[in-house]
Amino acid sequence: MGHTGETARKSIFPIYYGWIIVGLSFLTMAFHLTARFSFAIFQVPLIAEYGWTRGALGSAFALMMGLYAMLGPFAGSLLDKFGPRAVVPWGSILVGVGLAGGFFISSLWHVYLLLGMFIGLGTALSGFATHSAILPRWFRKKRGIATGIVLSGIGIGSLFLSPVIERLIAHFGWRIAYLVYGFFVLGILAPVNFIFLRDRPENMGQNMDGLPQPEAVAAAPRKDGTEEGKSIGQVFSRVKNDNSFWALALLGFIIGFQTNTILSQLQLYLVDVGYSTATGAMVIGLAGLLHVVGSVFIGWISDKVGRPRAQAFSCGLGVLCIVVLLSIRYLGHPPLPGFLFSVLYGLGAGGVSTSHSSMAADSFGDRSFGTVMGLLTICYAGGGIVGPPLAGVIFDFTGSYVIPFSVILLLMVSGIFISLFLYGAKSSGAPTSGPPHA
């Protein structure tokens, strides 16, 4: 167990505190991940005011993802050793400082420093990987649905925050929008995490899944008593020969390439094909709503039919959404194709993230999971490093997103194959064709 300084005590809570942890992670994911993906919305006024190229701004986004990748394993190792309460709130502070500092942007290097570095560092400490690593400490039997709820925070952020950010920019300017967003994260989200976040059920006098002691012991993941003290190199040496690890790494790259490329370029693409900025924000917002549905529903389905099948289905939705996205320009620019894209993208993106996190927990949830998720984050972030600047540079040369979006389509097809045929071969966790062992 991490050295948190907290000891088990008699629970005073009428509900399982794990669901409070789910709520905290949900809220944090909503604001932190939207801080990354709102980069696409802020690009429009930044380009209009300063004339910076999409490739240059895409490189700032790549810096953000690069720091996220490099620090992911270290953040996971810190979480394994000291617990999430000692790590996650500092992520909120860094994200908040980066956003609020956006008010002062006047040169391109300011974008690289405030958005690239601060938000990259902050989301490494408190982003997808760390929150995914927290949940196996609290849930075993309902891991899929708990993970789905947490990751649906990404969708809620897009649903509500993206239109709010667009309206703030329209009425008060992009500087004020950055300042308001940053002060909210610093003034509310960071203190809430410091006050309410806990590391494990026993810190609250409870057991895994909120079960009585005998059932909780049966449901708890295996431990060898030494895993949480292992270094990053020792953890990698242990998992590198597991086929499931490399399948998850490939899926992570695909998810990172798809998600970050689309969301960093989507507002620009929709404006290019004739949508207003407000309609574009509505498309992103609807995608956020369906991301919530996809995260929770496909997370629940994965508990029933198995993670690989749920993941393959989600990748299939990703293929369809790209077909629709590429067709918008040829359909006379009505709003309907944009909203159809939102439905397919939201459901698929919610499903791939939830299934990936749950697949990793099934296979490695009992083995320094924070560090394992940090290692997998390198692959996810690798997709985010390559995708957005590549899409921006290709557009600068060709005036089109056909090539980068087609690459995403091919990667999602590959994701179907990886999910069904590569993951789970000699896997160390739950069975690949059904729900995990309780």
Per-residue pLDDT at 89: 92
Provide mean pLDDT across the span 212-219.
53
- Residues with Cβ within 8 Å of 239's Cβ and at least 6 positions away in sequence, in order, are 245, 364, 367, 372, 375
Contact 192, 88 (CB under 8 A): no
**Among all chains, which residue has been given the structure tokens 């087609």?**
406
Per-residue pLDDT at 419: 92
Alpha-carbon span 438 to 435, nearest angstrom: 9
Per-residue pLDDT at 437: 33
Dihedral, CA of residue 376, residue 382, residue 383 and residue 384, to nearest 10: 110
> Quick check: 274 pLDDT over 60?
yes
Q: If you average pLDDT over each of 106-115, 189-198, 370-379, 406-415, which comes out highest? A: 406-415
Provide mean pLDDT across the span 187-211.
84
Q: If you average pLDDT over each of 69-78, 275-284, 326-335, which comes out highest? A: 69-78
Which range is least confidently modeled, 110-114, 228-232, 330-334, 375-379? 228-232
- 43-48: long-range contacts at Cβ-Cβ below 8 A with a sequence spacing of 24 or more? 43/264, 43/267, 43/268, 44/267, 44/268, 44/271, 44/277, 45/169, 45/173, 45/174, 46/105, 46/111, 46/174
Per-residue pLDDT at 318: 92
CA–CA distances in Å: residue 100 to residues 109, 175, 181, 405: 16, 9, 7, 32
Closest CA to 326 of 412, 407, 414: 407
* Per-chain mean pLDDT for the chain: 81
Residue 171 burial (C-beta neighbours within 10 Å; 0-12, 13-18, 19+) = exposed
Domain ranges of the chain: 18-202+230-422
Per-residue pLDDT at 436: 36
Contact 436, 365 (CB under 8 A): no
Per-residue pLDDT at 413: 95
Per-residue pLDDT at 428: 37
Segment 83-134, tens digit of pLDDT: 888 889 999 999 999 999 989 988 889 989 988 889 989 988 887 778 878 8
Higher pLDDT, 31 or 437: 31
Residue percentage of the chain with pLDDT more than 90: 18
Per-residue pLDDT at 321: 92
- 238-243: long-range contacts at Cβ-Cβ below 8 A with a sequence spacing of 24 or more? 238/367, 239/364, 239/367, 239/372, 239/375, 242/363, 242/426, 242/427, 242/428, 243/422, 243/423, 243/424, 243/425, 243/426, 243/427
Does the structural domain 18-202+230-422 have CATH classification 1.20.1250.20?
yes
Per-residue pLDDT at 312: 93
Segment 365-401, tens digit of pLDDT: 665 777 888 888 888 878 878 888 888 888 888 888 8
Say which amino acid occupies 79: L
Per-residue pLDDT at 396: 83
Phi, psi (rounded to 5 degrees) for 45: -70, -30
Provide mean pLDDT across the span 415-421.
92
Per-residue pLDDT at 15: 81
Contact 344, 361 (CB under 8 A): no
Number of H helices, E strands in the chain: 19, 0
Higher pLDDT, 155 or 130: 130
> Quick check: 226 pLDDT over 70?
no
Where residue 4 falls among pLDDT bands split at 50, 70, 90?
very low
Per-residue pLDDT at 380: 83
> Quick check: 33 pLDDT over 70?
yes
> Quick check: 331 pLDDT over 60?
yes
Ramachandran area for residue 9 (φ above 0: left; ψ -120 to 50: alpha; else beta) = beta
Alpha-carbon span 238 to 129, nearest angstrom: 19
